[in-house]
Structure 1
Amino acid sequence: MRNIIYLRRNRKLIVQPGQHRLPQKYIATAMKNMEYLGFTFSKPLMEVLQTMSVDEFLGMYQQLVQDLKSLVGEHVNFKPMYPNFPQQVMIARDAELYVNAILHYVTLELPEHAPMERIPLLDQVDLEIIDLGNPEDFTQIIRNLIQAKVSISESEKEDIEWVIETYDDLSTVLPGEIPLKENVGFVVGALLKYEKANIKLIGKYMKTATDVLRLAVALSGGDVSLAANTKFRKFKRAERRLLLDLLEQCGNRVEDMLRHKNRWIRLGEILHPAEYKNKYDGCKEAFDILRNNKPYETFGGKVENALRDKDTLLAVDILKDRAGEFARRLDHLLRINEDFSPVIEKFAEIAVHVSTPVLLQVMAHFSHRNERHELRTFFPKGNVAKAIAIPNTLPDIATEACETIVQTCKNTLMNRFSELPPLGDVYVDARLRQYVMPFSQRSASKALRTIVRGSRLEMPEGDTIRFFLWWKEGKVDGIYTGRVDIDLSAVMYDEHWQYIEHISYTNLRSAKYKAAHSGDITSAPSGACEFIDIDIPSVVKYGGRYIVASLNSFTEQPYCDLPECFAGWMMRKHPNSGEVFEPSSVVDRIDIAADTRIAIPVILDLVEREVIWCDLALQMHPNYYNNVEGNQKGMVLMGKAMTSLTKPNLYDLFMLHAVSRGRIVEHADSAQTVFSVNEGVTPFELSKIMAEFIA
């Protein structure tokens, strides 16, 4: 399991050197076979593999191939309705396509087709290198995830939990501090689950009443971000005492508990603090205030009253003791008073106490504050990847104020980063401007590459992009899904987001462009798949620019209730060569497992030849059926939001580190530290970025 996680996260393997001499033909054969999947070995890894016995190597290789197949999607059988796609669809008569579809809808059987000869794959693929790793590096990855200052995804939590369950000695894994409160609840919950915790160990992590609430949520299998309500389970007496002990040691209990009043009241009904006559007096008092609505003036209430009265000076005076809250309300404070000087001066005083993630977001926000984008886009907290886009009606703020705030953030960050170890000569790739900083990964899906929502990835060479979808129906937690029909669609828009055409089960091929669908399969007891091919030059030639790829659960099951569902895309220079699904040409693959019925994995900008990573769940407001035609309004809104998104980028982050900790050079070859898309520290090493650079 350790190598499975290591391979997925860093494309590395831990292999212990042996005392043997493996015949070279075994490594050569393995590497040749792995080319089919798009991977190869690095020289250091080959050198260690050569010291293994034949049996050891074969055991390692068989597991590796299985893991690589799962990464790219080759672990399942791809059998589209038209196996000779795309040529078969393009040359078929309309009547033939119509009759085949009707027969399948009635019988659920696929039409029989005589096989057509397919020439071998002509595309030349850049192989991804699997490198040699070590236990210390793997442990550091997990430690980085635990001490990240931003939220992490469910797959990252699964990896942390496996380590907590498996490792006997967690001293090298657990940091002295867990900065993010969500991670505190999850990690401590896992420690308790596997009986590897005591009050001394976990007490240092639990500092507020909300920390205790998150722990109770984690122990109940709920959402530690607190974005969704949790039904608390019945706790054992020892667990109740532990939660009350932790709550009793927290300062400022009442105000913290009032933020989540109703949840605390429900939790109090389970904890029963009144049962303990001579203990937990602080807890009893807090629950009494909550249950009986006794008056209690909170910090938040004072701030809201001041803002409501537009008393900026009073609001600033209250907020100055909570730097992070001050920074988050900075825009509001500047909007309610034309005299911005007192606000900016106080922010300059307290900026040193604001966390790095918040400073970076404030800096990016005010750098683009007066740009007149049509929409403001937000990603709400929670485990489902939703985006909210609203009209941008914010009034402008004085340019001088924005520039001063940006400079204050930069100076504070550079002073902070300058205390970190030096980087020497540093190269920063300008393409990193297209990659968003990882501030919120809690709703990110498991994927071939870990990418931050809103990032723009360059398309590889080739004129045809091929989307793919695979899903399966069956039993999940003992409950049968029933028939499952997931539809793959691609909608084309011009540069102004005016609809041009779509490719879906209702329109298998374009009348204008070179675009085709592999056929609509409506049941998947053994798994089913769909493909869409789009020829990029043919769309651009006639005014097309954006393509939104979408998945619609026609039979209404949410993706989280399916045994398996994933999607992705390939870039093909010769679409009729090779098999329909060629694993070596897979650029990205993403698991679709959110509690939603509509998903938008990516949006394409064909003019810029960029893939905009979305990983979004779209709310369903169809006219009748859950299909692409019924969700046009939502897709256009999300398309406009994601293509105009302004978020802090990795180039700005790494440049701050470069200026503060090293000397900038123009070429990667002459640098000691490289930040780039393809080498050195890359945008896909999120655990490293979150722990070491957003710190």
Structure 2
Amino acid sequence: MNQGLFLRRRCKVYVPVGTGGASRAQVASAIREVAAFRCVLSESLIEQIGKLSATELKYWLREIVGVLRRETGAHVHHRPFYPGFPEQVMMTSEAELYLNAVIHYFTLLRLPPTEYSRPAMLEGNFISRVIEPGSVSEFESLLEPLIASRTSLSEEETADVVWFIRKYKSDVFRLLPETVPFREIRAQVGGALFQHVPGDARAEAFLERNVDTATDVLRLAVALNGGDVSLATALTRFTAMKRSTRRLLLRLLDRIPNAAEGVMRHAEQWKRLAEVLHPGDYAGKYPQALAAITAARRNEAPASFGSRVETLLAQRHITTLTPILQSRPGEFARRLDVTLRRATEPESVLDAFEAVATQVSSPVLLQLLAQVRAPRPLPLRAFTPKGAFAKVYGIKDRREPLAPDVLARATRICEDALVSRFASLPPLGRCFIDPALREYRVPLAQRASSKSLRTLVRGSRLPIPDTRFIRLFLWWKNGRERTDIDLSAAFFDANFVFMETVAYYNLKSLGGYHSGDIVDAPDGASEFIDLNLDVLVEKGVRYVVTSINSYTEQPYCDLPECFAGWMARADTASGEVFEPRSVFDRIDIASDTRICLPFVMDLQERGMIWADLGLTSSPRWNNVQNNLSGVSLMLRALVHTPRPDLETLFDLHVRARGERVASPHQAQQVFAPDQGITPFDTNLIRSQFL
């Protein structure tokens, strides 16, 4: 049993059958210990732990508290440069702050611990997580929604899938679905089965069912070599393979029709793979595979689909183009906008698209729907390319305008196709959809998402609790050499105009206070920033962008551990500097970047915008001041980029197979941020609603 996985995915824990004997005082102590992490135990869970012996309760509680500590960031020691933060920073002169920093930079010494009287923390009225008891069968049911997802998995989710396969080995086949809809997940599961269930015929049978294109075979080979199955990053370095593995890959490729065209889509990857596959060794047994790979090596395949489409678009031969696009409905949807703008008769393009719209996947239709619904021109066109980490690019929207009636019809086509698809699913009955769900984004591509306390989708807005103070925090530990990570907060007004920064070079400004710069962390180091929300709003600040910079240029993936988050504090003068019960979000920072922008505070709307983005380049001095152009671009991209929201998704489902009601009390199914199916049920949404 993996209690951490169970708690993270379902907010449930497993309690083994006990021998009894735990006293009421011991149970009460357990409840209080868990409450220190903003969690409460349900009545049924309290009843179950009451049936444990004192020793059994002790070991069960130790495991659960260990999980909660790691989730919130309380598993490490937090000591800021100024031990009396924030009062010590507020009361110290600028000259002394500067002098202390210079001494630290030359000597790496920190200020000695000082006794500060800290009263018990004043707690705000913050909502807690309710932990319920769960069974083994409920725990095992976590695997299927992950594998049945119709969008990519995050690194953490992939690790969960691999854990099940590694732990259950041959027994895992009873938990796997027959087919896997998303191709990247097919490769990840196939690679894990190969590694942890070697020689099992059921693993090969699984691959036979789930590999049907040349790119599927390539992704499987990449997964076996620990590469990026999205095929979006650098070429994978393939290592020598066993003969049985080579035969399997060649056999899978040999049975695919028109394999040569599929191989040419990723010709360079296939050339590298061929060096270890040695297809000539099996020329008589797998001739089609050999022919496809040979064509790639000689560049003999015909012009690719993409090149033909781009040529026809450039020449504006739309009549010739539309039948070609109809052969690949997903590509048609992705290129519908540009095709309509190049067409002299957009209605004929829409007629052609409508004929194949029902064959387009739900995620692609939802993305297209969000685009055609958005006002034109967009304040900013932003792009987040597919890859192992999230980055953003933006340009001015200079597209040719589309007539409102064209956009309206494109909207109807997308909606009708989705409603038609959803109508084949089981009925939902009476449904309540909370309008607040329009602030939460549909979980589409999650491959670049970081591990976090709450499962969030980039661009989603969550309410900030009713509090006056927010405390940002960062913790890291040195890699192979001295590592300096900096926590900063950049302030922007409502027009995205930069106002000020609180950072290592400016410890206090506009109602923000920094705990002091630490430039070496052999045993770990913490930095904090306190934000007085009322003062910031009075000064005209609307957006607070949290920026984390690797000043010494090490990528975060090379560090033993690095994480950040934020706390809601009723009073910064009470409680310890780090209080796990006040932590609302914590995010692991482990991407192959040197600049991370985890979240943004919108003080006017009292919301937190989940960003989880990395900037791809850095100036000579890597700090927030020298990256303001990238920070500003990311901020505008988060605010302005149209993305499909959960209210739209659930409303389409209800139109197809239910009845929308005005109150949750009238409903058989509730969709809301805090009850029923919530935005944090990403596995359920991706497997059952996409």
- Which of the five TM-score ranges fits, normalised by the shorter chain? over 0.9
Report the counterpart of residue 487 of structure 2 in structure 1.
488
Instruction: Report the Cα distance in structure 2 between the residues aligned to 1:115 and 1:18, rounded to whole angstroms.
Output: 44
SS in 2 for 1:427: strand
Report the counterpart of residue 417 of structure 2 in structure 1.
412
SS in 1 for 2:141: helix
SS in 2 for 1:533: strand
Deviation at 1:296, TM superposition (A): 2.1
CA contact (8 A) 1:151 1:442 kept: yes
SS in 2 for 1:13: strand
Unaligned runs of 5+ in 1: 475-480
**2:689 is the counterpart of 1:693:** yes
**2:185 is the counterpart of 1:186:** no
User: Aligned letter for 1:340?
Assistant: P
CA contact (8 A) 2:188 2:220 kept: yes
1:99-114 correspondence runs (5 A): 99-114=99-114
Structure 1 residues 434-477: Cα deviation after superposition (integer angstroms, max 9, x where no partner): 11111110010000001001111110011111100000114xxx
Report the counterpart of residue 531 of structure 2 in structure 1.
534
User: Aligned letter for 2:173?
Assistant: S
CA contact (8 A) 1:472 1:526 kept: yes
Report the counterpart of residue 158 of structure 1 in structure 2.
159
Report the counterpart of residue 451 of structure 1 in structure 2.
456
SS in 2 for 1:131: strand
Deviation at 1:433, TM superposition (A): 0.5
Moved more, 407-416 or 49-58: 49-58
From 564, 568, 574, the equivalent of 2:571 is 574
1:555-574 correspondence runs (5 A): 555-574=552-571
SS in 1 for 2:239: coil
1:315-326 correspondence runs (5 A): 315-326=321-332
1:184-333 correspondence runs (5 A): 184-196=186-198, 197-198=200-201, 199-228=204-233, 229-333=235-339
1:573-592 correspondence runs (5 A): 573-592=570-589
Report the counterpart of residue 505 of structure 1 in structure 2.
504
Deviation at 1:140, TM superposition (A): 2.7
Percent of aligned pairs with the same amino acid: 43
Instruction: Report the Cα distance in structure 2 between the residues aligned to 1:123 and 1:556, rounded to whole angstroms.
Output: 38
CA contact (8 A) 1:515 1:535 kept: yes
Instruction: Report the Cα distance in structure 2 between the residues aligned to 1:46 and 1:121, rounded to whole angstroms.
Output: 26
Structure 1 residues 395-445: Cα deviation after superposition (integer angstroms, max 9, x where no partner): 211111111111121122112212212222211111111111111100100
TM (normalized to structure 2)?
A: 0.97
Instruction: Report the Cα distance in structure 2 between the residues aligned to 1:531 and 1:286, rounded to whole angstroms.
Output: 57
CA contact (8 A) 1:141 1:688 kept: no
CA contact (8 A) 1:493 1:501 kept: yes
User: Aligned letter for 2:190?
Assistant: V
User: Aligned letter for 1:447?
Assistant: S
From 669, 682, 691, the equivalent of 2:665 is 669
Report the counterpart of residue 682 of structure 1 in structure 2.
678
User: Aligned letter for 2:467?
Assistant: G
Deviation at 1:298, TM superposition (A): 4.0
Instruction: Report the Cα distance in structure 2 between the residues aligned to 1:157 and 1:268, rounded to whole angstroms.
Output: 27
CA distance 1:361–1:46, change in 2 (3 Å): same
SS in 2 for 1:555: coil
SS in 2 for 1:171: helix
User: Aligned letter for 1:149?
Assistant: R
Instruction: Report the Cα distance in structure 1 between the residues aligned to 2:361 and 2:87, rounded to whole angstroms.
Output: 56
Deviation at 1:19, TM superposition (A): 5.5
- Displacement over 6 Å in runs of 4+: none
From 433, 437, 440, the equivalent of 2:438 is 433
Moved more, 135-144 or 568-577: 135-144
Instruction: Report the Cα distance in structure 1 between the residues aligned to 2:443 and 2:176, rounded to whole angstroms.
Output: 22
CA distance 1:502–1:301, change in 2 (3 Å): closer
Deviation at 1:304, TM superposition (A): 3.2
CA contact (8 A) 2:191 2:220 kept: yes
Deviation at 1:127, TM superposition (A): 2.2
Deviation at 1:11, TM superposition (A): 1.3
Instruction: Report the Cα distance in structure 1 between the residues aligned to 2:92 and 2:305, rounded to whole angstroms.
Output: 69
Instruction: Report the Cα distance in structure 2 between the residues aligned to 1:99 and 1:300, rounded to whole angstroms.
Output: 60
Instruction: Report the Cα distance in structure 1 between the residues aligned to 2:123 and 2:18, rounded to whole angstroms.
Output: 38
Instruction: Report the Cα distance in structure 1 between the residues aligned to 2:401 and 2:14, rounded to whole angstroms.
Output: 54
Report the counterpart of residue 650 of structure 2 in structure 1.
654
Instruction: Report the Cα distance in structure 1 between the residues aligned to 2:166 and 2:457, rounded to whole angstroms.
Output: 28
Unaligned runs of 5+ in 2: none
SS in 2 for 1:170: helix
Deviation at 1:23, TM superposition (A): 2.7
Instruction: Report the Cα distance in structure 1 between the residues aligned to 2:476 and 2:81, rounded to whole angstroms.
Output: 14
From 539, 545, 548, the equivalent of 1:551 is 548
Instruction: Report the Cα distance in structure 1 between the residues aligned to 2:456 and 2:53, rounded to whole angstroms.
Output: 38
Instruction: Report the Cα distance in structure 1 between the residues aligned to 2:618 and 2:526, rounded to whole angstroms.
Output: 25
SS in 1 for 2:387: coil
User: Aligned letter for 1:644?
Assistant: H
Report the counterpart of residue 364 of structure 1 in structure 2.
370
Deviation at 1:495, TM superposition (A): 1.2
State the superposition RMSD in angstroms. Answer: 1.5
SS in 2 for 1:687: helix
SS in 2 for 1:132: strand
User: Aligned letter for 2:238?
Assistant: F
Instruction: Report the Cα distance in structure 2 between the residues aligned to 1:33 and 1:293, rounded to whole angstroms.
Output: 65
CA contact (8 A) 1:85 1:518 kept: yes
Report the counterpart of residue 7 of structure 2 in structure 1.
7
Report the counterpart of residue 478 of structure 1 in structure 2.
none
Instruction: Report the Cα distance in structure 2 between the residues aligned to 1:302 and 1:100, rounded to whole angstroms.
Output: 64
Report the counterpart of residue 134 of structure 1 in structure 2.
135
CA contact (8 A) 1:437 1:648 kept: yes
CA contact (8 A) 1:466 1:571 kept: yes
Instruction: Report the Cα distance in structure 2 between the residues aligned to 1:53 and 1:421, rounded to whole angstroms.
Output: 45
CA contact (8 A) 1:489 1:549 kept: yes
Deviation at 1:277, TM superposition (A): 4.2
User: Aligned letter for 1:59?
Assistant: Y
User: Aligned letter for 1:515?
Assistant: G
Report the counterpart of residue 179 of structure 2 in structure 1.
177
CA distance 1:295–1:4, change in 2 (3 Å): closer
SS in 1 for 2:99: helix
Deviation at 1:251, TM superposition (A): 1.7
Report the counterpart of residue 145 of structure 1 in structure 2.
146
User: Aligned letter for 1:534?
Assistant: L
How many aligned residue pairs are there?
684
Instruction: Report the Cα distance in structure 2 between the residues aligned to 1:10 and 1:56, rounded to whole angstroms.
Output: 23
CA contact (8 A) 1:620 1:626 kept: no
Deviation at 1:294, TM superposition (A): 2.1
CA contact (8 A) 2:489 2:502 kept: yes
Instruction: Report the Cα distance in structure 1 between the residues aligned to 2:540 and 2:372, rounded to whole angstroms.
Output: 34
Instruction: Report the Cα distance in structure 2 between the residues aligned to 1:504 and 1:170, rounded to whole angstroms.
Output: 49
Structure 1 residues 233-254: Cα deviation after superposition (integer angstroms, max 9, x where no partner): 1111111111111111112201
Structure 1 residues 634-681: Cα deviation after superposition (integer angstroms, max 9, x where no partner): 111111111212100001111111222222122223322111111111
Instruction: Report the Cα distance in structure 1 between the residues aligned to 2:561 and 2:186, rounded to whole angstroms.
Output: 30
Deviation at 1:309, TM superposition (A): 2.5
Instruction: Report the Cα distance in structure 1 between the residues aligned to 2:334 and 2:138, rounded to whole angstroms.
Output: 36
**2:621 is the counterpart of 1:625:** yes
